[in-house]
Each structure stands twice: as structure tokens, then as C-alpha cells.
Amino acid sequence: MSIRRRISVLFLIVFIINLVGIYVYSILVLPEGVNEHVVSIKEEINGTVQAVMRQLEYSDDFEASVDESVISDDMLIYIEDIDGQIVYTYPDETAYEKINKDSDFYVTASEKFLSTNSNGQQIYFIKGAVAITDNSMTLDRIPSFMNLYLSRMISFEAILFTIAMIIVIFVIGRVIIIPIEKLTASIRGYKKNVHITESDEKNELKALNKDFEVLAKSITEEQEKQTRIIASVSHDIKTPLTSIMGYAEQLKKDEISVERKNRYVNTIYEKSIAIKKMIEGLDDYLTYNESNSSSEKVLIPVKQLLVAVDSYYRDDLEREDCDFSIDDQSGDSVVVINKADMLRVFGNIISNSTKHRTDEKLKIHIEAVKKYRDIEFRISDNGEGVEEWQLKKIFEPLYTTDESRSKSVSGLGLSISKDIVESHQGRMYAEKSQFETGLSIVFSIPVANKKN
């Protein structure tokens, strides 16, 4: 489960816990508080009723007796005689109707009493009431009623909140903090060449760990590649440089003949040219890797690209006695490419074929075929070829199939070509040639939508 989903579920659980807690409070704790409040109100009403009864024991002045006895503004009182006639209501005539019509919303207390007055002895019935709902209750009584359960609600909610926060902190620690600490430890370990451990999480942090692992692996591979490049260039420069130094040492001798001197000078020049080409090739490789991401791409028909390839290379190949042919089966397909870079790919592959030709007449065949959503280019020759296990290695910078390294081989052309193709969202690989001997370099790039 993703971290986002886990956090959402966590807060949903916390919310539900609070709702359940409030519900439990309302059915278990709140009624108890209400009962306590009702009892206190009933005691207040009883006290008021008893006070009125004492005042009226020897008097028939109902208004004065009630006014003197009532101490609460929200108290309702009515008095009726033994025949059921209302003789007095407090604070107004609606008191009787309110108490009897909405009896469920009032706390009441009633008493019968005997009054001795100018009319003789009379039996009366007195009833007092106080509302217990917010809609009917006066403002001075609402706070006392609310405080009974609000204080308990706040205390209960504080306990729930504390428990919820403990759960949140624990889960966040397990889901986020601990995995981040493990990832941080892996990053620190990588600096010390410690292998990055795979995360056992199944969320975004696992993906982050995987991305870092891929990044670390690519950095390591790039460092190893740079080390190989440096070692290869060092060796390839050292070999001709040693020859140059040897011939230069011979030229210092006075007894050397003019013919031999000229031969030594020519050899030194050729070796210098070889070193220059190696350095230029390395510089070319580094320059492309720094700038390939910003190369401008345009929409171009495959036919037009192959016409440009034919125009660029046919004359030179025919002068080298090469049988050069192009078979275009791409139809009207178009591709989005940097034309100069793509011509460079063809040029590097063709150059590789001419370098590794045999004594037989060189044949180079280019084929373009539409396959699904890609255009596949296949460049085949009948040259030396490579062993099966070397097919992937030939794209490594400065890789050479000459194990003895008796000759200098820069080996950067195919590596640059592969980088160019991949920058076009394509792929490149090598396989055995369609001829009896030789090598086929195959690469594909996506077909573009003509509306683009």
C-alpha cells in the first residue's frame, strides 16, 4: 500500500475513533450528567414551591407571595383551587399552557397545601417548572447545564486525541521515518562502497530506494567505463609514443643513412597522426555526451534520410572498391531525428565496416523496414565479424577485439552511435551478418505521427 493511502486510512481511522468516542460518551456519560442537572433543578423547584406554600399559609396575596419566593427568572408557576380553576400564574398567563403543553421539556414539582385566609380555609394545588432545553432555557441557566458535560467531553476528547496522536506517530515512524533512515544509511554506505540493501517496503519509498539503486549502479558503471577509457587511451597512446621515442633516438645518431632517416621521419609522422586521431575521437565522444540532450530534432521522411546517406557515402565507398547498396522498405514513414547525428550513426558504422574488411571485396548493405511502430535499420558487411560473446561488448567505449592490442583501436564510433540512437528513444544491437562472414549493426527508432 502506498504511503499516501496509508496516511489517508490512518487519519480516517482516527476520525472514526473520535466519532465512536463521542457517541459512547453521549449514550453513557451524558445522560448521567443530565440526570444530575435535573435533580438539582428539581430541588430548586421544590424549594421555591415550599417557600410559596409557607407565604400563602395565612395569606391570599398570591402575587406578593410568589414574587418574594421565586429566585430564578426562568421559573414558571401556576396555582389552582380544588375545583381546578386557575387562580394565579407566574410570570404571565401563558405559564399554565407552557407547562402542560410541553411537559416533556420541563422539570416540575407540585404540592397541595391548605391556606387559611379571609375566605376561610382553602385547599390549593401549586406547580412549578423549569425548562431543560436550550431553546427554552434562559441564558443564565444554559452555561451551568452545558458545563456539566462539556468539561467531561473535553477531558474525554483529550484522552482520545492523545491516543490517536500516539497511533499516528507510531505508524508514521514505521511507514516513513524508519525506511528513510534505512535509505539514508544506504546512501552513506554507498560512499564507502557498501552494497545498497534492497528495501522490503511496498510503497513509494521502495520505488525511491530502487531508483537510488539504479542511479548508484549507473554511476558505478559510468566510473568503470571512464576507468576503462583512460586505461585504453593510455595504452593506445603509449604504444605509438614508445615507437616515436625509439625512432627519435635513432635519428640522433650521425651514422644513420638518409634513406633510413626519411623512413623514420615518415613513421614518426604516421604514429603522431594515429595519436591525434585517438585524441580527436575521445574529444568527440566526450563532446557528444555533454551536448546530445540539447540536439534539435526535426520531422523527416525515411526515404529522404536514406537519400542523404547514399549521397554522403557512396562515392567514397566506390573509390575503395566497395559494393554499396540500400534497400528501402519503409514506405512513406517519417521519423523525428537530428539529421546530422543520424548521418553520423551511419558514417560510424560504415567506417567500422571499412576498418575491419577482409581480402575479399567489401560489401555493405543497408536495409530499412517498418516494424510495428518503429523503423528498423540494418547495416550489414562481409568483413571480419566478431565472436558471439563479443556482440554486446563492441558498443563499449574503446573496446577492441584485438586481444593482443598489437594495433591501436579507438573503438568510440559504435559507442557514440549507440548513445545517439538511444537519445532518439531507440535501441541498437549487433548480430551475425546476412553474408557468410561479417557483422550486422541493427538499430530502430520510433515512427513519428505525420501530424506532428
Which pLDDT does position 108 carry in this prediction?
79
Give the CATH number of domain 295-446. Answer: 3.30.565.10
Domain 225-290 in this protein, CATH class: mainly alpha
Q: Which of 127, 130, 103, 99 is nearest to 113 (CA)?
A: 127
β-strand partners of 123: 114
Which pLDDT does position 109 carry in this prediction?
81
Residue 103: pLDDT band by 50, 70, 90 thresholds?
Answer: low
Q: Where are the beta strands (DSSP E) in 3-94?
A: 75-81, 86-90
H-helix or E-strand containing 399?
Answer: none
- Give me the chain's average pLDDT, please: 78
Dist CA 268 CA 252 (whole Å): 14
Asked whether 135 and 142 are in contact (CB, 8 A), the reply is no
User: How far is the CA of 103 from the CAs of 42, 106, 318, 428, in angstroms?
Assistant: 14, 5, 115, 91
50-54, 124-128, 176-180, 397-401, range with the lowest pLDDT: 397-401
* Average pLDDT value for residue range 160-166: 80
Asked whether the whole model's pTM tops 0.75, one would answer no
Which pLDDT does position 45 carry in this prediction?
84
63-67, 118-122, 172-176, range with the lowest pLDDT: 172-176
Residue with the larger pLDDT of the pair 139 and 10:
10
Indicate the domain borders of the chain: 3-159, 225-290, 295-446
Dist CA 395 CA 285 (whole Å): 13
Q: Could you report the per-residue pLDDT of 402-452, keeping only the tens digit for each?
A: 554 444 444 677 888 898 899 899 999 999 998 888 999 999 999 987 665
